[in-house]
Structure 1
Amino acid sequence: MEKAIAQTQTLIQRLATESPTQNSRLEALQQQTDQLNTHLQRTDLRIAVTGNKGVGKTALLQRLQSDWLTQHPQTLSLTEVSVAELDSSLPNLLTVADIVLFITAADLTDPEFKILSGLIANHHRVILVWNKQDQYLIGDQPVILQQLKTTLTGVLSSDDIVAIAASPNPVKVRQHQEDGTVQEWLEPQLPILDSLTKHLDSIVSQEQQVLVLATTYREALGLRQEAKEIVNQMRREQALPLIEQYQWIAAAATVANPVPALDMLATAAVNAQLVMDLGAIYQQKFSLQQGQEVATTISTQMLKLGLVEISTQTLTSLLKSNTVTFIAGSLVQGVSAAYLTRIAGLSLIEYFQAQEIQLEATDNPSLNWDNLKKTLQTVFQQNQQASLLQSFVKQAINYLSVQFKPKQTVESSAS
């Protein structure tokens, strides 16, 4: 936790120096970071109740508030959060929860298992609560509970898997009278919560310091991630104009010196400088030789992955369909060189952003080629949208037309 706080403070200080325009955002981050040590002193605990729709979250929360919380000497708070909110506010709400009650109404589904595993990996104190056990036959209840424990072997302790019935269904009672008549009514059932409340009592009394420390650690990681996003945004704003500059350099160089077949290796000399310049922004100090090696390797990977062939065919088709201008050969090569240079640059940005933030320049940086290869494929796929390609082709034609003023074959729709 102390390391995470120190890293966040260092990031904030660097940002304040490099990007004064972010002052208000940085001040808020700094205040939140300064408060983390105070958070360690708190004695209250927060419990989040979460799970899919229809598993009985609200019923359990209300029952705990009325039957357990009011009688507990510890200061506790309960909050209900839907799993459906995972993509929006849930991560922030769960970050500050000391204990998470993950509710299910049957055996775990695959999405539930993934969510539960993610919470545990993020240092959350999780209790899996199987609710509505009363809806199953008495003989089946221990079988289902054991199945849950087996499913989560190695993920969650069996002690942290409990069975309850927060709001049991009423039982129909039938009474036969002496006169032969029959009376029927629904008999309300008491909730079955003992296994959960006893386990909660044990955790609250024995693990309070650990729970508070883990929650503060998650808060520190969250603030560090927010600072990292600001750093990456700042560096990306510096990097994108460089990529645009080098993509047009590659286009002009290829049009001026066309080759029989487009070969990304021919643009490696240009890309080597791009690698060096992008590396400098992300505190990765590449020498010229290293830049050339990285550029050549990226170009080779593009060829092996078939990105060169796919992009050339796609761009050729778009150029042919252009009603203003089409120049075979060198223009196709120039536009393709620009496009692939852009893909290489964007891939390096994405790769650097996924790494730990570098605050001081690193000499002789090494790249994980498997990760960079995957990034190349992902970025290429993201930039294959028709609207993006059409926009790029239009920009490329305008740029190259101004640069070279080539003889154009105008296709008039009137003819």
Structure 2
Amino acid sequence: MQDRGGERHLSLARESLRELLDDERVPAVVRAELAEDYARVQRLLDKIEHGHVHVAVFGRVSVGKSALLNALLGDERFATSPLHGETRHSAEARWESFDAGGVYLIDTPGINEVAGEARERLAREVATESDLILFVIDGDMTASEFEALGWVLREQAAVILVLNKADRYTADERTTLREVLLSRVKDQLAPERLVLTAAAPAERVRVRVRVDAAGEETEERFRPPVDIDDLKLRLWSVLEAEGKTLAALNAGLFAGRLSDRVAERILAAKHAIGERVIRLYCLSKGVAVGFNPIPGADLVAAVMLDIGMVVHLSRVYGMPFSRVEAGRLVAVISGQLAALMGTAWALNLVSGLLKLGSGGFSTLATGTAQGAVAYFATYVVGQAAERYLAAGKSWGEGGPKRMVREILDSLDRDSILREAREEILSKLKGRHPREAQ
């Protein structure tokens, strides 16, 4: 190939794929969830290591994808049949006509076939892993074909639109059809990326008239020659100019998509752990506040538990806080929470006073209410701290006030308070057997 810069692009792609495969920071559970994606990365890396370029056909059932590949190969390597949907699995063959260290032609099942969801999924997987797509049609595009072409173009940098079975149309019809197709894809494909072919021309009948007195007519059947020269030239041009770069770009795109999925899975796993941590501290704080009859001690316990929760969350997200740093973060969040939830904090104070005046005997009545408010407050602190950590220690554009407000608006406060009261009451009853009788 004469793909200048291709080797450099391939080298960068190799490095990114290896880093993705060898990243020890990815938890084992995430690797297990994305095992199929990691296997595809390994296949892409192997392909690049061997200098291979994959060209895949993509399109509806029975548009002549297999016949097109056979015509390019000059050999009947791929199964063709008049029956609907002959290709049931992807298959590949090396294209010897182009000496590029290994260009492989990939056949795929047809898309949009009734009860063919598995085939369509397989076809799309192959398309994602391939470096160049021949999107094959046999007439004006249907709505489903146009949608599929849009999907392929979003996933692939290199696509050639192939109008196969062009022999079925007259010269004027081919001209009109070409103009229509170009108008449909004018914002997506350059005109030179539309090619007309006749991979397996249909048999025709020709009438011959004898030049004699009788003027006798005879019929004979013949098959026009295969016409794929324009496609070959376009393929050679693309492969010579961009082959290695296409392989590197496709690998890089897939690696980037997988990196995003890995990051999402890791973040989801951290969020799941964080949610359990937050709930644990919420209950601990609710019980501590609800059980302790001394209001001053309640406040000390509440602050210390919130700080401990933030320290724990910071370790979950791989950004450990000292207790001093965690205390500052809790102060910021609590300040915003106090400003936005004045009524709740007032309830907390009144409950505390009632508990003090009763000498501790009404703990189940008033302590549970106060503990539920403390539970809810810690839940909000935990949610805000987790978002702050997930964003890389950032409050975002709106600052902490906006973040806390968004959290409050998103929560079903009554449901959380009801759940908190039930959990705290269960714990308090266990600690006050005389009152539980």
Question: The TM-score by the shorter chain falls in which range?
Answer: 0.5 to 0.7
Alignment of 1:10-409 (within 5 A): 15-16=24-25, 19=27, 40=48, 42-66=50-74, 72-74=97-99, 75-82=102-109, 83=111, 88-90=121-123, 92-175=125-208, 183-184=218-219, 186-218=221-253, 220-221=255-256, 224-225=259-260, 227-228=262-263, 231-232=266-267, 234-242=269-277, 244-245=279-280, 281-282=316-317, 362=392, 364-367=393-396, 399=423, 402-403=426-427
Secondary structure at the aligned position of 2:72 is classed as helix
Paired letter, 2:138: A
- State the shift of 1:235 in Å: 2.4
Q: Is the 8 A contact 2:58 2:136 kept in 1?
A: yes
Distance of aligned partners of 1:244 and 1:193 in 2 relative to their CA distance in 1, 3 Å threshold: farther
Distance of aligned partners of 1:272 and 1:111 in 2 relative to their CA distance in 1, 3 Å threshold: farther
Secondary structure at the aligned position of 1:54 is classed as coil
- State the shift of 1:193 in Å: 1.2
The share of aligned pairs that are identical, in percent, is 18
Paired letter, 1:104: I
Separation in 1, partners of 2:315, 2:181: 51
Secondary structure at the aligned position of 1:140 is classed as helix
Q: Is the 8 A contact 1:4 1:221 kept in 2?
A: no
Separation in 2, partners of 1:3, 1:136: 46
Paired letter, 2:277: L
Secondary structure at the aligned position of 2:249 is classed as helix
Separation in 2, partners of 1:14, 1:71: 37
Aligned CA RMSD, in angstroms, stands at 6.1
Paired letter, 2:224: Q
Paired letter, 1:187: F
Distance of aligned partners of 1:404 and 1:40 in 2 relative to their CA distance in 1, 3 Å threshold: same
- State the shift of 1:285 in Å: 8.6
CA deviation profile, 1:91-137 (whole Å, cap 9, x unmatched):
54334422211112233345444443444444532111112223334
Q: Is the 8 A contact 1:164 1:192 kept in 2?
A: yes
Separation in 1, partners of 2:17, 2:95: 39
- State the shift of 1:6 in Å: 6.0
Separation in 2, partners of 1:158, 1:44: 27
Secondary structure at the aligned position of 1:106 is classed as coil
Paired letter, 1:58: S
Q: Greater CA deviation, 165-174 or 107-116?
A: 107-116
Paired letter, 1:214: L
Q: TM-score, normalised by structure 2?
A: 0.54
What's the counterpart of residue 306 of structure 1?
Answer: none
CA deviation profile, 1:275-304 (whole Å, cap 9, x unmatched):
997676445799878779889999xxxxxx
Distance of aligned partners of 1:171 and 1:7 in 2 relative to their CA distance in 1, 3 Å threshold: closer
CA deviation profile, 1:372-405 (whole Å, cap 9, x unmatched):
99xx9xxx9xxxxxxxxxxx9x999985773577
What's the counterpart of residue 383 of structure 1?
Answer: none
- State the shift of 1:367 in Å: 3.8
Larger radius of gyration: 2
Separation in 2, partners of 1:147, 1:295: 64
Paired letter, 1:208: G
Q: TM-score, normalised by structure 1?
A: 0.56
Q: Is the 8 A contact 2:205 2:220 kept in 1?
A: yes
Q: Is the 8 A contact 2:95 2:103 kept in 1?
A: no
